[in-house]
Amino acid sequence: MDKIPKYRSTVLYGIVSLIAVLLLVNIGLIYLNSLIIERNKKNQEDAESAKLNTLDVIRNLHLLDLGIRGYALVNNPQLLGVTDSIHITQQKIFTRLENALLNQGYPDMKELQVLEDSVWSYIRYTDVMLELIKQKKMNEFNALLARDKGYDLWLKYKTFSAHVNIFEDHIVQEAKKNYEAALRNSYLLQALIFLLAVPTLLYMAYFAVRTFRVSDELRQTQIEKNQILQDQNERLDRLVKEKTEDVLAQNEEITSQNEEIRAHNDQLILQQDQIEKAKAIIERQANLIHQKNADLQMEVEKQIKNLRQTNSELVEHNSRLEQFSYIISHNLRAPLARVQGLVSLLDYPRDPEEKSTIHQLLLRSSHELDTVITDLGLIINIQKSNTEIRTEVSLSKIIKKVVKSLDPELHLINATVNMNVDSSEIIQSLPPYVESIFYNLISNAIKYRYKDRPLLVQINSKRSNQFLEVTISDNGLGIDLEKYNDQLFNLYKRFHLHVEGKGLGLYLVRTQIEALGGRIEVQSVVNEGTLFTLFFKV
C-alpha cells in the first residue's frame, strides 16, 4: 500500500517536469519565431531598400539627362538644380544599396561595383557636356550627345536590376518558409503541452481539495498553540520594558557627551572651510597670472610674426621698385632720348630720303617705347590679380590647349611632348595666367633647344602638402645657374643671345605664379637641359 502513493508522486513529478521542459521549449520557439519575424522584417526592409535604391540610380540619371537637355534647349539655369546635387545624392544611393546587399549576402557585389563605376563615368561625361553648353560649344555638345552613352549604361542597369529583384524575391520567399515552419512547430508543441497539462491539473486539483481539508484541521491546532505563545510573550514584554528604561537613561548621558563633541567638530570644520577658501583664491590668482603671461607671450609672438611678414613684403616691394626704376631709367629713357634726338633733327633741312630714314627710326623708337609701356602694364595687371575671381582650372586641359597651339612649331622641329598629368587635378586659379605660364615655359623649350638632338619635353604632376607640384623638363641648351642664378627671373634678362627675345618670359612666369599664391624652382645643366618645378596652391 505504501508503494502506490510513492509511484503516483513519481509519475506526477515526471509529468510536471515534462510539462516544464515543454514550456521552456515553447518559450524558445516563441523567441526563435520573434527572431525569424525580425529577420524577415529586416530582409523585407533591405529588399525594399535595395529595389528602391536600384530604381533611384536610374531615376537620378534620368533627371540628370532631362536637366542637361532642357538647359541646352532653353538655357534656364534652374534646370541644373539636379546636376548640382547629383554627386552627393548618387553617392548616398550607392552607399545604401551596397549596405543592403552586403547585409543580405548578395553573391555578386562586383556587378554592383561595375555599375557604380559606369554611373560615375557617365556623370563625368555629362559634366563635360554641361561645360560645353556653358561655353556655347553646341556643336561639340551635340557630338557628345549623339554618342548616346546613356543607352549602354541603361542596359547594364536593367541587367543588374533584374538580378537584384530575383535575389530579393528569393530572400523573401525563404524567410516566409522559415517563418511558417516555425509557426507549425510551435502549434504542435502547444497542443502536446495541452494534452499533458489538462489531466495533470485535474489530478492535482483532486489532491489539492484533500490538502485544504487537512490544512483546516492543522490551522485550528495552530490557533491553540498561538494562544499559549501570546501569554508567554506578554510576560517577556514586561521584562523588556523594564530593561529598556534602564538603557534609555544611559543613552541620555551618552547623547549629552556626543553634543559636546559635535560642537567641537563644527568649529574645526568651519576653520577648515576658511583655509580651503583662502587656498582656492590663491590658486585662482596664480592661474590668472599664468594665463595673462601666456596671452602676453602669444601677443608678442604674433606681433613679431606680423613684423617679419611686413618686413618681407617691404623687401619684395623695394625689389620691384628697383626693377621699375631700372626699366624707367634705361628701357624707357633710351627710346625716349632717341625719339627726342630724331625729332630735333627734323628741324633742320633734309633731303626726302634722309627724312624718310629719320621717320622710320622714329617709328621704331616709338614702337620700342610702346612695347616697354605695354610690358609695364602687363606686370601691373598681374600684381593686381588678387582682386580677380578664381575659377576651377583643369591642368591637363590647359596643357593640352597650349601644346595644341604650339603644335606647328613642335611638328616643324620633330619635338615630342610627354604629359603625365591626372585629368582629375583641379585647382582654383586664373585660367589666363596658368595658360601663360605653360605657354612661356614650353615655347622657351622650343626656342632654346639643342640643335643636334630632337627636343623632348616631359610634364609630370603630383600632390605635395598644400600644393600641386608640376615639373616641366627639356633636353635643351640649359642655363649656367652658377653664373646667372641671381638674375634668372629678372626683367629683360637674357642668357642665350643667339636667339631673339626680350627677356620677359621667365619674369612673367614667376610674377604670375607668385600672384596665384605659388612659387617656381629651377634646376639646369648646360647643354643637358632644364627642369622647372611649379607649385600651384590647391
pLDDT digits (tens, 9 = 90+) for 105-136: 888 888 888 888 888 888 888 788 878 888 88
Residue 327 pLDDT exceeds 60: no
Identify the helix (H) or strand (E) that includes residue 262.
Answer: helix 149-326
d(CA 444, CA 530): 10
Please say if the pLDDT value at position 493 is more than 80: no
Residue of 185, 206, 208, 188 lying closest to 196 (CA atoms):
188
Cell reading at 505: 618670359
Has residue 430 got a pLDDT over 90?
A: no
Expressed in angstroms, the distance from the first to the final Cα of the chain is 102
* E strands, 269-377, in order: none
pLDDT: which is higher, 65 or 531: 531
pLDDT at 498 over 50: no
Contacts of 46 (CB under 8 A, 6+ apart): 100, 101, 103, 104, 171
pLDDT in tens, 152-168: 778 888 888 888 888 88
Lowest-confidence region among 212-216, 223-227, 320-324, 407-411? 320-324
Residue of 27, 39, 23, 49 whose CA lies nearest to 178: 39
Could you tell me where the beta strands, DSSP code E, fall in 95-253?
none
The DSSP result for 401-457, as a single string, is: HHHHHTHHHHHHTT-EEEEE--TT-EEEE-HHHHHHHHHHHHHHHHHT--TTS--EE
Q: What is the DSSP letter of 517?
A: T
Task: Characterise 414 by phi-psi region: left (phi > 0), alpha (psi -120 to 50), beta (else).
Answer: left
Average pLDDT for residues 89-116, to the nearest whole number?
Answer: 82
> Are 403 and 416 within 8 A, CB to CB?
no
Torsion (CA) 325, 327, 332, 337 in degrees, nearest 10: 70
- Concatenating the DSSP letter of every residue in 332-363 gives IHHHHHHHHHHHHHTTS---HHHHHHHHHHHH
In the predicted model, is pLDDT for residue 43 greater than 80? no
Closest CA to 453 of 525, 522, 528, 530: 528
Looking at per-residue confidence, does 229 or 336 come out higher?
229
Instruction: Please check the confidence at residue 374 and state whether its pLDDT lies above 60.
Output: no
Mean pLDDT of 321-338: 54
- Reduced to 3 states (helix: H, G, I; strand: E, B; else coil), residue 530 is strand
Q: How far apart are the C-alpha atoms of 299 and 331, rounded to whole Å? A: 47
The mean pLDDT value for 236-259 works out to 76
> Would strands 529-537 and 467-474 be described as parallel, antiparallel, or unpaired?
antiparallel
Q: Are 53 and 164 in contact (CB under 8 A)?
A: no
Q: Which of 486, 490, 480 is nearest to 510 (CA)?
A: 490
Interior angle at CA 119, CA 114 and CA 123, nearest 5: 150
Q: Tell me how far the alpha carbon of residue 195 is from its chain's centroid.
A: 65
Higher pLDDT, 388 or 286: 286
pLDDT band at 223 (very low <50, low <70, confident <90, very high): confident
Closest CA relative to residue 416, chosen from 478, 476, 468, 501: 476
Per mean pLDDT, which range of 242-251, 341-350, 396-405, 528-537 is the poorest? 341-350
How confident is the model at residue 28, as a pLDDT? 79
Write out pLDDT tens, residues 169-191: 888 788 778 777 777 877 887 78
What average pLDDT does this structure show over 326-353? Answer: 61
User: Are 445 and 496 in contact, with CB atoms under 8 Å apart?
Assistant: no
C-alpha separations of 68 from 57, 93, 115, 123, 130 in Å: 17, 21, 22, 11, 7
The answer to whether 494 and 479 are in contact (CB under 8 A) is: no
Q: Calculate mean pLDDT across residues 327-345.
A: 59
